[in-house]
């Protein structure tokens, strides 16, 4: 769900691309592009906000650089979930990476995140996750990912407001 004003997208907009098996996400933050970049690449910050409420995370490895890789483990409701991927491009305005939930290792997405400076202390995050089929995309959209994303971004909002980023 999104609420749009003339200036900002207050909540997360999650959309299925009608022409490609991709999920497109748009969200505005009261932050600079540099702060959002840091929140996505500094593992200590990332683990504090990623995922739904009640989830705890620990890192296995994290190399936020061109050609680096990452893996973290999340605990939610007594279940452990591992995620991994590779960073292809890491620069202040853009991150390109793969993303894989190890519970479905054949379903790897290629994610592109772009940080657009809107001025006046606001940045728009543009995210596109390309998967290998429309069926996989639609399964992901039905999986409850929206709750994890919106709750995670609410935690990121709080980190940004606190000055931790």
- Tell me what pLDDT residue 3 has: 38
Q: Would the CA dihedral through 148, 138, 87, 157 be positive or negative? A: negative
CATH code for the part of the protein at 13-53+93-162: 3.30.530.20
How many other CB atoms are there within 10 angstroms of residue 133's CB atom?
Answer: 10
CB-based contact 126:37 (threshold 8 Å): no
pLDDT, mean of residues 15-25 = 97
- pLDDT, one tens digit per residue, over 79-130 is 999 999 999 999 999 999 999 999 999 999 999 999 999 999 999 999 999 9
Whether 4 shows a pLDDT value over 50: the answer reads: no
Note the pTM of the prediction, 2 decimals.
0.90
- Tell me what pLDDT residue 7 has: 52
CB-based contact 92:34 (threshold 8 Å): yes
- Tell me what pLDDT residue 11 has: 82
The domain ranges of the chain are 13-53+93-162
- Tell me what pLDDT residue 8 has: 56
CB-based contact 82:95 (threshold 8 Å): no
CB-based contact 118:20 (threshold 8 Å): no
- pLDDT, one tens digit per residue, over 38-77 is 999 999 999 999 999 999 999 999 999 999 999 999 998 8
- Tell me what pLDDT residue 2 has: 41
Q: Residue 1: helix, strand or coil by DSSP?
A: coil
């Amino acid at each position: 769900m999104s609420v749009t004003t003339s200036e900002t997208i207050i909540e997360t907009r999650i959309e299925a691309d009608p022409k490609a098996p991709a999920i497109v996400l748009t969200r505005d933050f009261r932050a600079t592009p540099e702060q959002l970049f840091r929140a996505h690449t500094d593992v200590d910050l990332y683990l504090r906000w990623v995922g739904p409420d009640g989830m705890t995370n620990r890192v296995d490895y994290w190399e936020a650089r061109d050609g680096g890789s990452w893996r973290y483990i999340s605990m939610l409701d007594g279940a452990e979930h591992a995620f991994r991927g590779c960073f292809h491009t890491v620069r202040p305005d853009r991150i390109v990476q793969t993303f894989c939930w190890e519970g479905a290792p054949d379903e790897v997405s290629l994610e592109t995140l772009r940080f657009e400076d809107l001025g006046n202390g606001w940045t728009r995050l543009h995210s596109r996750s390309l998967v290998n089929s429309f069926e996989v995309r639609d399964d992901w959209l039905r999986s409850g990912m929206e709750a994890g994303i919106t709750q995670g971004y609410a935690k990121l909002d709080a980190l940004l407001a606190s000055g931790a980023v």
